[in-house]
Amino acid sequence: MKYVVAYAGTLIAFVAVDLIWLGVVAKAFYRAQLGDLLAENYNFGAAALFYLAYPLGVVIFAVVPAFASGSWLEAAVWGAMLGLFAYGTYDLTNLATLRNWPLRLTAIDLLWGTVLTAFAAACGQLAVNGIW
C-alpha cells in the first residue's frame, strides 16, 4: 500500500504543478521559443502516457530510496537528480540535433524539470509519511 500512496502523491503533485506551469505560467514562453515546432493539436495519448509513466519513475528512483529514512528531503534530492538527468536527456538531445532549438529553452526546461521532479518526489514521500 505504501507504493500506491507514494505513486498517488507523486502523480497528483507532478501533474497538477506541471499543467499549471505549461498551461498558465510559462505558456507564452514555450510558444515563443518553439514557434512552428509546436503542434496545433496536442497528442493527448502520448501526454497521458508520459504523465502516468514519469511519476512511476520518480517513485522508483527517488521516493523508494528515501523509504528507509522517511526523509522528504532525501526524496527531493534523488528527485532533483532524476529530473536533471531526464529533462537533460530530452533538452540536450534536442539542442544537439534540432535546428534552431533555443538554448534559453534548454536552460529553463532543465531547471524546471529538476525543481518539478524534486517537488513531486518530496510530495510522494510526504504522502507516505501521512503528512500530505
CA distance 82 to 88: 9
For residue range 72-129, what is the model confidence (pLDDT) as tens digits? Answer: 999 999 999 999 999 999 999 999 999 999 999 999 999 999 999 999 999 999 999 9
> What pTM was estimated for this model as a whole?
0.96
Report residue 33 CA to chain centroid gap: 19
Beta carbons within 10 angstroms of residue 25's beta carbon: 11
Q: Which of 126, 53, 64 is nearest to 86 (CA)?
A: 53
Interatomic CA distance for residues 105 and 112, integer angstroms: 10
User: pLDDT tens for residues 6-49?
Assistant: 999 999 999 999 999 999 999 999 999 999 888 888 899 999 99
Dist CA 33 CA 53 (whole Å): 26
Q: What percent of the chain has pLDDT over 70?
A: 99
Give the start-to-end residue ranges of the domains of the chain.
2-128
8 Å CB contact between 43 and 30: no
Cβ-based burial of 12 (10 A; exposed 0-12, middle 13-18, buried ≥19): middle
